[in-house]
Amino acid sequence: MITNKLIKQGIDYILQHLEEEISIDDVANHCHFSKYYFSRIFKAETGESIYGFIKRLRMEQSAVRLKLEKDKSITDIGVNYGYSSSNYSSVFKKHHRLSPVEFRKGVDVTYIIHPFYPNNLARFQSFEEYDQQITIKELPDFVVIYERHIGNYIELDKNWREFTEKYKDYFREDTLLIERFYDDPAITRVEQCLYDICMTVDENCSMDNVITIPGGKFVIYRFDGLIKDIFIAFQGVFNIWLADSGYEMDERYGLDIYRDIDRANMHVVMDLCIPIK
């Protein structure tokens, strides 16, 4: 878990300016520290240098764009992240071990290897099957207590148990448990996935780790199944439905809103919420 408030602020700044020319100085200045001190505590907290973190996120977010924005040229996507055509292809291949062209060709498949259960294949439904379970809604802003993690989603259940026990006194009848995700685990290495676990609270809550998650227009897919199959549903909605839906993903990040959790049977009902323009 990332406990340093300033590191979380630095990560937020990077996420908000990922398509801009941001430097280590920019991030450190935003957090009101010298770049040498901030670079040291950033690496101690995240395991990565600021430069390495920015570069990795650019490569991974550009891969998401390649997956979803099929009509946009590879060159244009690379330029959005500050790369020339030839440089983007070279850096992308070094990071992903595939060229952007090879990566994009690999998206149009009916299954992928499951990153959390490598011996299993994640098989997708058809566009029409996903479409039957999808609605478009305006969601409100959510005021939440949150904790930020970088790590394997396999640890999510343990993290949720500790989180809900720590903040049990803040539960109300209408409390929602929300996970905010920043990465695609089919692209990001499983040990480097960035996510927030949150619970809604009263707007007057005085805790230090309270933020507002902006609402807006979302694609909402209702998942009702085994916890181990969440990844398959997530990838199917992105790879099959969203890529061919005509909708464009917004700069806001996705949410999982938990509606019912049956840990004894490893079953969950949740809304996968994808921000759209």
Q: Do residues 95 and 153 both lie within one domain?
A: no
Q: How far, in Å, are 181, 216, 217, 219, 222 from residue 140 at the CA level? A: 18, 6, 9, 14, 18
Residue 112 lies in a domain: no
Residue 259 has pLDDT above 90, yes or no: yes
Q: Do residues 174 and 236 both lie within one domain?
A: yes
Residue 26 lies in a domain: yes
Residue 246 pLDDT: 87
Residue 76 pLDDT: 93
**pTM exceeding 0.85:** yes
Residue 18: CATH number of its domain: 1.10.10.60
Residue 246 lies in a domain: yes
Q: What is the largest CA-CA distance in the chain?
A: 55
Residue 96 pLDDT: 92
Residue 169: CATH number of its domain: 3.20.80.10
- Find all residues with CB under 8 Å of 137, minimum gap 6, and list them: 217, 218, 220
Q: Do residues 148 and 96 both lie within one domain?
A: no
Q: Do residues 11 and 103 both lie within one domain?
A: yes
Q: Do residues 175 and 59 both lie within one domain?
A: no
Q: Do residues 150 and 86 both lie within one domain?
A: no
Q: Do residues 141 and 255 both lie within one domain?
A: yes
* pLDDT interval class at 110 (50, 70, 90): low
pLDDT tens digits, residue range 183-195? 988 899 989 999 9
Domain range for residue 37?
5-107
Q: CA-CA distance, 110 to 235, in Å (whole number)?
A: 10
* pLDDT interval class at 20 (50, 70, 90): confident
Q: Do residues 48 and 152 both lie within one domain?
A: no
Q: Do residues 213 and 152 both lie within one domain?
A: yes
* pLDDT interval class at 120 (50, 70, 90): confident
SS3 80: helix
Residue (of 24, 48, 19, 21) closest to 34 by Cα position: 24
- Average pLDDT of the chain is 90
CB-CB contact of 30 with 9 (8 Å): yes
Residue 153 lies in a domain: yes
Residue 109 has pLDDT above 90, yes or no: no
* pLDDT interval class at 57 (50, 70, 90): very high
Query: Bridge-partner residues for 179, per DSSP?
Result: 197, 256
